[in-house]
Amino acid sequence: MSIIPTKTKTKHSHGNVENWKSTLKLKPHLTGWQLPFHISIPTLSVSLSLLRLPFPFPFPFPIFSSFFPSFSRVRAMRKPKQLDGTSITRVRSLQVLAALAILYLFLVFFFEFPLLSTRLSLGNTNPGPGGGAVAGSFARAVLESAPIRPVRRNHPLSTLDFSKLNTTSSQLHRIAKEAWRIGTKLFKDLNKPQALQADRPNRTEEQCPHSIMLTGAQFSAKGRLMVIPCGLTLGSHVTLIARPYAAHPEYDPKITALREGDKAIMVSQFMFELQGLKTVDGEDPPRILHFNPRLKGDWSKKPVIEMNTCYRMQWGQALRCEGWKSRADEETIDGLPKCEKWIRDDDDRSEESKTSWWLNRLIGRTKKVSIDWPYPFAEEKLFVLTLSAGLEGYHINVDGRHVTSFPYRTGFVLEDATGLSLNGDIDVQSIFAGSLPTSHPSFAPQRQLEMSPEWQALPLPDGPVELFIGILSAGNHFAERMAVRKSWMAGIRKSRDFVARFFVAMHGRKEVNEELKKEADYFGDIVIVPFLDSYDLVVLKTVAICEYGVHAVSAKYIMKCDDDTFVRLESVMSEVRKVPASKSLYIGNINFYHKPLREGKWAVTYEEWPEEDYPPYANGPGYVVSSDIAYYIVSEFENSKLRLFKMEDVSMGMWVEQFNKTLPVEYIHSIRFCQFGCIDDYFTAHYQSPRQMLCMWDKLRAGRPHCCNMR
């Protein structure tokens, strides 16, 4: 049996065109099925549209007979039609188009359909018996060989709409609006080609002198600061010749408290400090060594020597030498005790002890002769102090005698000590630094970035995540961000349940912004919040963290921390998961009934905060909120209803308190979210320098979550 065509005439909207309709007829002399070699114009149009072929107009053409022999026999039955040259050209053109269409179909069927089948097989969670393993292995092979095409890419710019700021509500809102205007302009300037291709000024490397010497007058003219361009190295030494001033009355002493009825206390002290002048621009330099002899005025009423370190205005654990020699079982520094003994006013130097010592000498009993020296500094008496850098710490000799040694703290190295300052009651005669390094270390903050794919962030996950961590950072904190990437952030980089991003505002210096943009483009873990950065506007970054957490990653929980905070993520999440998922959550080191300071550097005016108490709030270095609280904050901000306060942690406590009026919030307090430094079994540790971050990460990976340089 076969199908043979029957020729009919039809009228089409495009004109009179021959059309062929097929009818089924029994033909015993033909074998097999013979298909029509022409199709109707509407049928061809629909077929091509279903196949998504680029033919916008219908036309009849004999394509099948040109390519398949079975259709040639049928075509031979037709009466040939005389065609002119134009018609022949038209037919040839149509045949070329038809050939391209068939090639397109070939590519679709043989290349696209297998990929479609693979996607469908990946979506089948219940494969048939025996087929799951094969399909799964094939799917994995395809995915491993194919390039990764992330559905959601990283967002380098915060989408928080600062135009919603209500400039009539408070002075802070007006400042924020102006900072946003300036910051937006700075960010746009970064994207201009001329900004990226601008000629950089020639940066000449500073010379590294082997020694530096200043007279007292030169030292005073330089603001009592000696710059050591390349820092110190092993064996470097500093020699100071000076004379302490006589004690003078102080009415507001810092090293003791006035007794009742006293108006002043006599004080004589000076501070000899090694500072890290090139650590971070625009911030107080860290005090790598703070050497503070207190001749008079200490709270103990005795002459003492106190040594310490300070990082971001946070002092470490002080080492005090009070005239007693360090215990024999106490650790030494390069074999030297931390504190030597000197004569104290309360020493028991009775005549009996002196007599027994002389008798022992007379009867031949040998005994090591010990000499007791007075306190090494005296008012208006010249001294020579030498500080030297050893293997394990700094050693200080006065007038040729060892007085004290101070161990190196984990957060600092010798090359960081790029400045020497002297303050207090001291008259400097001369100062000399020798055996200095002659090679220049890398001090430029951007040079501390390691441009390695190992530290690049993955694209955002396709679905929701359990925890989003927003890390507050300043534009010039290149070393801090790199330390976070290489420490605790490395533990979550490959996870699909956790996402971490740095939130950075625009810096006042153009070159810092340019380096920041390069860093953001390469690592993919920085969200730029386009406003000019300042301490009072840090709260805007917190709002941006909430907005990113609920809109960009759809996180269940949102954590905020600083770039000098070390986070034990698994411990934090264990604490968070103790609360049922259905409850609103606010967890951290929570302060209750705190009052604003009305005086001093951190004073808060009544205009800024008229209430007498702050609401319960978690300390800013590390806290977690549930997503419903974050969504409420973003919604209030977008509706111009969110009250802003310059202390971001207090602001969060205020917002949570407002949310708590509609839905109950589970407040969880834990001192293991450490505000000042690090404690044993911490959740978070604050004020950690980049080197401390790496030290803590090494300990944590070894199964020992211990602090580095506890303070």
Reported as half-sphere exposure (CB side, CA atoms, 13 A), residue 513 has a value of 23
Q: Closest Cα partner for 239 from 220, 221, 212?
A: 212
Q: Is the dihedral of CA 537, 538, 540, 541 positive or negative?
A: positive
Q: Taking the CA atoms of the chain, what radius of gyration do you get in angstroms?
A: 40
458 and 402 assigned to the same domain: no
What pLDDT is attached to residue 352?
Answer: 47
pLDDT higher for 263 or 355?
263
d(CA 613, CA 466): 34
Angle between helices 648-660 and 538-547 (to 10 degrees): 50
d(CA 572, CA 652): 19
Helix ranges (DSSP H) in 452-564:
478-486, 510-523, 538-547
Question: Per the domain annotation, does 364 fall within a domain?
Answer: no
d(CA 693, CA 708): 8
**pLDDT category, 66, cuts 50, 70, 90?**
very low
Question: Per the domain annotation, does 197 fall within a domain?
Answer: no
The range of the structural domain enclosing residue 467 comes to: 162-190+445-701
Question: Per the domain annotation, does 202 fall within a domain?
Answer: no
Question: Per the domain annotation, does 146 fall within a domain?
Answer: no
Question: Per the domain annotation, does 362 fall within a domain?
Answer: no
Q: What mean pLDDT comes out for the span 593-602?
A: 79
Q: What mean pLDDT comes out for the span 504-519?
A: 89
pLDDT higher for 330 or 540?
540
Q: Which amino acid is at 474?
A: A
What pLDDT is attached to residue 187?
Answer: 86
d(CA 517, CA 191): 9
What pLDDT is attached to residue 212?
Answer: 95
Other beta carbons within 10 angstroms of residue 603's beta carbon come to: 10
Would you call 401 helix, strand, or coil by DSSP? strand
Enter the DSSP assignment of 74: H
Q: Are 675 and 621 in contact (CB under 8 A)?
A: yes
What pLDDT is attached to residue 49?
Answer: 43
Three-state SS string over 536-596 comes to HHHHHHHHHHHHHHHHHCCEEEEEEEECCCEECHHHHHHHHCCCCCCCEEEEEEEECCCCC
405 and 457 assigned to the same domain: no
Q: Closest Cα partner for 256 from 311, 323, 291, 306?
A: 306
Q: pLDDT averaged over the chain?
A: 78
Q: Which of 50, 81, 115 is a domain's end point?
A: 115
Question: Per the domain annotation, does 120 fall within a domain?
Answer: no
What pLDDT is attached to residue 206?
Answer: 60
Length of the chain: 711
Q: Are 552 and 527 in contact (CB under 8 A)?
A: no
453 and 427 assigned to the same domain: no
What pLDDT is attached to residue 367?
Answer: 53
- Sort residue 213 into left (φ over 0), alpha (ψ -120 to 50) or beta: beta
Q: Closest Cα partner for 575 from 514, 643, 623, 642?
A: 623
What pLDDT is attached to residue 565?
Answer: 95
Measured CA to CA in angstroms, residue 203 lies from 19, 199, 231, 444, 515 at distances of 81, 12, 19, 11, 15
Question: Per the domain annotation, does 134 fall within a domain?
Answer: no
Q: What mean pLDDT comes out for the span 26-38?
A: 40
Is the pLDDT at 139 greater than 60? The verdict is no
* 20: β partners: 7
521 and 490 assigned to the same domain: yes
What pLDDT is attached to residue 550?
Answer: 94
d(CA 399, CA 42): 109
Among 192-206, 249-263, 622-636, the range of highest mean pLDDT: 622-636
**pLDDT category, 329, cuts 50, 70, 90?**
confident
| CATH number assigned to the domain comprising residue 271 | 2.60.120.200
424 and 453 assigned to the same domain: no
What pLDDT is attached to residue 109?
Answer: 63
b vs e for 417-441, b when ≥16 Cβ sit within 10 Å of the residue's Cβ?
A: bbbbbbebbbebbbbebeebbeeeb
Q: What mean pLDDT comes out for the span 273-298?
A: 84
Is the pLDDT at 526 greater than 90? The verdict is yes
Q: Which amino acid is at 704?
A: R
Say which range, 98-102, 232-236, 243-247, 474-478, has the weakest mean pLDDT: 98-102
| CATH number assigned to the domain comprising residue 170 | 3.90.550.50
Return the percentage of the chain with pLDDT > 90, whole number. Answer: 41
397 and 450 assigned to the same domain: no
Would you call 652 helix, strand, or coil by DSSP? helix
Is the pLDDT at 566 greater than 60? The verdict is yes
d(CA 609, CA 607): 6
7 and 78 assigned to the same domain: yes
Q: Are 368 and 361 in contact (CB under 8 A)?
A: no
**pLDDT category, 30, cuts 50, 70, 90?**
very low
Question: Per the domain annotation, does 648 fall within a domain?
Answer: yes
What pLDDT is attached to residue 344?
Answer: 77
Is the pLDDT at 44 greater than 60? The verdict is no
* 85: β partners: none
pLDDT higher for 109 or 288?
288
Is the pLDDT at 598 greater than 70? The verdict is yes
Q: Are 214 and 431 in contact (CB under 8 A)?
A: yes
111 and 234 assigned to the same domain: no
Structure tokens at 429: 């005669």
Is the pLDDT at 245 greater than 70? The verdict is yes
* pLDDT per residue as tens digits for the range 73-129: 444 444 444 545 556 677 777 778 888 888 877 776 665 544 444 333 333 333 333
Q: Which of 115, 150, 180 is a domain's end point?
A: 115
500 and 621 assigned to the same domain: yes
Q: Closest Cα partner for 693 from 482, 500, 504, 408?
A: 482
**pLDDT category, 389, cuts 50, 70, 90?**
very high
Q: What mean pLDDT comes out for the span 579-589?
A: 95
Is the pLDDT at 1 greater than 90? The verdict is no
Give the total number of structural domains in the chain.
Answer: 3
Q: Are 77 and 2 in contact (CB under 8 A)?
A: no
Q: What mean pLDDT comes out for the span 570-598?
A: 93
Say which range, 199-203, 233-237, 705-709, has the weakest mean pLDDT: 199-203
465 and 551 assigned to the same domain: yes
d(CA 544, CA 472): 10
**pLDDT category, 167, cuts 50, 70, 90?**
confident
249 and 269 assigned to the same domain: yes
56 and 36 assigned to the same domain: yes
Say which range, 176-185, 375-384, 635-644, has the weakest mean pLDDT: 176-185
Say which range, 30-34, 242-246, 535-539, has the weakest mean pLDDT: 30-34
Return the percentage of the chain with pLDDT > 70, whole number. Answer: 72
Q: What does the longest C-alpha to C-alpha distance in the chain come to? A: 148
d(CA 498, CA 491): 10
